[in-house]
Homo-oligomer: A and B are copies of this chain.
Amino acid sequence: MNTTRSGRPALTRPDGTPLRVLVVDDDPDLAEVLSGALRYEGWRVRSAGDGAAALAEARELMPDAVVLDVMLPDTDGFAVLRSLHTVKPDVCVLFLTARDAVEDRIAGITAGGDDYVTKPFSLEEVVARVRGLLRRAGMARQQEEGPRLTVGDLVMDEEAREVTRAGDLIELSPTEFELLRFLMRNPRRVLSKAQILDRVWSYDFGGRAHVVELYISYLRKKVDAGREPMIHTVRGAGYVLKPVSP
């Protein structure tokens, strides 16, 4: 079976083969980091540095999804989107855009079911969005109950951004939500503060690991409040999320 590097079963195409994703960004470092994060999901990933290369790769790879920087050296993202659709009409696109550029050309993009994130973003965010796009487009095999994440009696509905424990609703801030999502995607596995920082916080975040400790403590107050704890500290190593009983 096709699996992620983390051992979790991968989100695959309906026929069980790995999903294909193309990353297009002119910053090679960023493209590399993104590719790595997507590959970690068990997907087949290629990358390109400009619009022309993107088209060439797309013709060869026939990707299910494209992660596409709006600002490219040769063309703009919108033109690339059109060309991509002629190559593969049902391709999903996640745009990467600068915060202050949001207003200009993004209009209309999300209307087609595509999506975007603003730089600087967290990898967890990008991966989650791509996963959401693929699932909604019906390109990914529906796992169990679809967009529902479950660890013990803790349940997260990613689309509704709703979290419950033993049926009780838990309200979370955006950062708390992303941190918990990362933990829930990697249950029973110790995650180092560095890993968490790299994955949940923006790639250009200069802060220290102390923030992670702080947000873990916030999460504990809300998730474990008065109940049997699910979030555990592993001294010198990191944190684990585990279901209570076994």
Please list the residues of chain A having a beta carbon within 8 angstroms of any beta carbon in chain B.
3, 5-7, 28-29, 32-33, 35-37, 39-40, 45, 78, 81-82, 85, 89-90, 102-103, 106-114, 116, 123, 136-138, 146, 157, 159-161, 173-174, 188-190, 192, 194-195, 197-199, 203, 205-206, 208, 234-237, 240, 242
- A111 in contact with B33 (CB, 8 Å): yes
Q: Are A199 and B90 also in contact (CB < 8 A) when A81-B32, A188-B159 are?
A: no
Per a CB cutoff under 8 Å, which of B5, B28, B235 touches A174? B235
Q: Is the CB of A112 within 8 A of B36?
A: yes
- Give every chain B residue within 8 A of A90 (Cβ-Cβ): 39
- The smallest C-beta distance from A124 to any residue of chain B, in angstroms, reads 9
Q: Does B28 contact A161, Cβ atoms closer than 8 Å? A: no
Residues of B near A203 (CB, < 8 A) are 107-108
Are A107 and B39 touching (Cβ within 8 A)?
no
* Contact yes or no, B160 A198, CB < 8 A: no
A85 to chain B: closest residue by CB: B32
Judging by beta carbons under 8 Å apart, are B29 and A78 in contact? yes
Docked-complex contact B111 and A198, CB < 8 angstroms = yes
Inside 8 A of A7's CB, which chain B residues have their CB? Answer: 136, 146
Which of B37, B78, B174, B205 makes the CB contact (< 8 A) with A236? B174
Do A194 and B113 touch (CB < 8 A)? Answer: no
Q: How far is the CA of A37 from the CA of B78 in the complex (A)?
A: 15
Contact (Cβ within 8 A) A138 B208: no
Q: Indicate if the CB atoms of A136 and B190 lie closer than 8 Å.
A: no
CA distance A103 to B197 in the complex (A): 10
Selected A-B contacts with CB under 8 Å, 12 pairs:
A29-B82, A33-B112, A36-B108, A36-B111, A40-B112, A40-B113, A45-B89, A107-B197, A108-B203, A157-B188, A160-B242, A174-B237
| Contact B123–A236 (Cβ < 8 Å) | no
Set of chain B residues within 8 Å of A188, measured between Cβ atoms: 157, 159-160
- A202: shortest Cβ distance to chain B, in Å? 10
**In contact, A195 and B82 (Cβ under 8 angstroms):** no
> What is the CA–CA distance of A45 and B111 in the complex, to the nearest angstrom?
15
**Given A40-B112, A113-B6, A136-B5, A107:B198 Cβ within 8 A:** yes
Least CB distance from A183 to B in Å reads 13
Q: Are A123 and B138 in contact (CB under 8 A)?
A: no
Measured between C-beta atoms, what is the minimum distance from A223 to chain B in Å?
Answer: 18
- List, in ascending order, chain B residues with CB within 8 A of A205's CB: 107
